[in-house]
Amino acid sequence: MVGNPVFYQNQINRKRAWKPVCGVKTPITPGAETVIGRCLTLRVLELDVKSWVDTVRNTPELPLVPEAVRCLELASEEEKQHDLVLNMAAQRFSDLISNQDQQAAYQLQALWREHPDHPIVKAGVLESSVFFVLLPILRLLSGSATLRVISNDISADENRHAAQNRQMAIDLGYSWSPSLDRLRRETVAWMVETLNVPGHHLGNPQPWLQSSDTLLEHMEAPLLMDTRRPSYIAFFEHANSGLPIYGT
């Protein structure tokens, strides 16, 4: 079997319980409305890694230590909570979501699901360089306390998921392909293309695209260092070499 059981057990030990709750609808920062709506549509990008685990369990295709498999099972349970609370948010802020954008999100979902890269690799790329852009947008640019709370709750889980999946890909000997890299960037570009918040250093698409690039390649996002404000849960506050970190 492959993988360090101590690493994966540490991820299990970091799991925390939280209840999906969506507060009241609040005003959104002018110039970010469409982007926030697109962030909510991209909730459909949560990939079902558990179905792959169930298919290959007890076969040579899944040589991971039991602790790693348990991490995947727990992540699947947590993704259901993410779906629940993001669906609540999408209903609460439904006026931000156009039918056209919803259909575009489903098209992206199909591209991610059909892409031939390994499921663990796709999940790791999504979590570390798409969701770690999406969540700070909800947190820093939405102007909504309701969406900030949701972002905080989900990000605590996604910290672990990103660390787990990136390490599993290494343990299994997989990496992302150039075509998956392009899909990742196209997804983020679509998400932020309309962003226009004058006077905010993160109020245009470029810092988010650049952060997605650096998160994927270097596990860092120096431009998003504002997310380390002590009043919020820092996305990468846990000391772990497998986690992306923001600049200091």
Place of tokens 């999940």: 123
Q: Which two tokens stand for residue 171?
A: 């343990």
Domain presence at residue 126? yes
Count other C-beta atoms under 10 Å from residue 214's C-beta: 17
Residue 226, pLDDT score: 59
Mean pLDDT of 75-95: 94
Domain presence at residue 145? yes
Q: Which domain holds residue 95?
A: 29-228
- What CA–CA distances, in Å, run from 123 to 22, 50, 67, 129? 25, 11, 18, 10
Count other C-beta atoms under 10 Å from residue 35's C-beta: 27
Domain presence at residue 18? no
Residue 235, pLDDT score: 41
Give the residue from 237, 219, 221 showing the smallest Cα distance to 229: 237
User: Is the pLDDT score of 245 beyond 50?
Assistant: no
Domain presence at residue 242? no
pLDDT-based confidence at residue 234 (cuts at 50, 70, 90): very low
User: Is the pLDDT score of 229 beyond 70?
Assistant: no
Domain presence at residue 7? no
Domain presence at residue 47? yes
Distance CA 160, CA 10 (A): 10
36-55 per-position pLDDT tens digit: 999 999 999 987 777 777 78
CATH code where residue 145 lies: 1.20.1260
Domain presence at residue 24? no
- Phi, psi values for residue 220, rounded to 5°: -140, 155
DSSP 8-state secondary structure symbol assigned to residue 203: -
Give the total number of structural domains in the chain: 1
189-218 per-position pLDDT tens digit: 999 999 999 999 999 999 999 999 999 998
Mean pLDDT of 216-227: 80
Domain presence at residue 246? no
Residue 243, pLDDT score: 43
- Phi, psi values for residue 64, rounded to 5°: -70, 150
Do 172 and 118 contact (CB within 8 A), yes or no? yes
